[in-house]
Amino acid sequence: MDLPRHHTIRDGDQRIVNPFTAEKLAVLGRAIRLRPGGTLLDLASGRGELLCTWARDHHISGTGVDLSTVAVEMSRRRADELGVSDRVTFVHGDAGGYVADRPVDVAACIGATWIGDGVNGTIELLERSLRPGGMLLIGEPYWRLDPPDQETVEACHAQHRDDFDDLAGLVRRFQRQGWDVVEWVLADPDSWDRYSAPHWLTIRRWLDENPDDELAGAFRDELTGDPLRHVLRREFLGWGVFALLKR
């Protein structure tokens, strides 16, 4: 059970594998008013930057769960680097079936709502680990502008226009499920650049070093096409992390 190899190659040494900068991640931690001693569960935790930096900066503890063995190992190394390995734990496993042993103060899924077959299912999954009165964090894309054609839709990692809501539709979706939106931090075009553009240099360096690898052809196609797709993506696709409290 692991992520395909091309994911870890493409992401290289990036710490945050979402269109979010370290600065925005720090703003989010302050915005939701984390308290020392609080507990957090991060499903599909990626490379652990959220949990590790918030443990350092806000003196919380928690658990991250991810399908990628590479990501889990990087998370554990990051915890050691930041001196928080006594307060955070990273588990290799299927986040879509994970429920915390004890209810947590904050339950998060940042940019991976596929673990619950979409936003609605992910909210239901996270709530199973949340204490009464606790907070959910959902990271999710939305349409900034209505895509004019199928080319734009596919450039934005979608197959159909209705794969994503617009921002108002996403807020209404949260509310229909019985949750108040109480904070958010949104990506911007520069955030998208800092997420997407490093892939290209990583891929190019890898291609130079591995021209005969079985993935070389697919990566060559991606390096040719993705900068052009990104031109559309940064204009039409938004992304943000939304803090929710149960009504």
Residue 219 lies in a domain: no
3-state secondary structure of 86: coil
Q: What is the pLDDT of residues 90-110, one digit of tens each?
A: 999 999 999 999 999 999 999
**Parent domain of 104:** 5-143+163-188+238-246
156 within domain boundaries: no
Rg from Cα positions in the chain = 18
- Total number of domains in the chain: 1
pLDDT score of 112: 95
Separation of alpha carbons 57 and 177, rounded Å: 32
pTM for the full model? 0.95
Residue pLDDT, tens place only, 8-41: 999 999 999 999 999 999 999 999 999 999 999 9
How does pLDDT run across 101-157, given as a tens digit for each residue? 999 999 999 999 999 999 999 999 999 999 999 999 999 999 999 999 999 999 999
Q: Is residue 129 part of a domain?
A: yes
Within a domain: 33: yes
- Measuring CA to CA, which residue among 191, 171, 197 is closest to residue 237? 191
CATH of the domain at 95: 3.40.50.150
Look at residue 208 and tell me whether its pLDDT is greater than 90: yes
In a domain, 205, yes or no: no
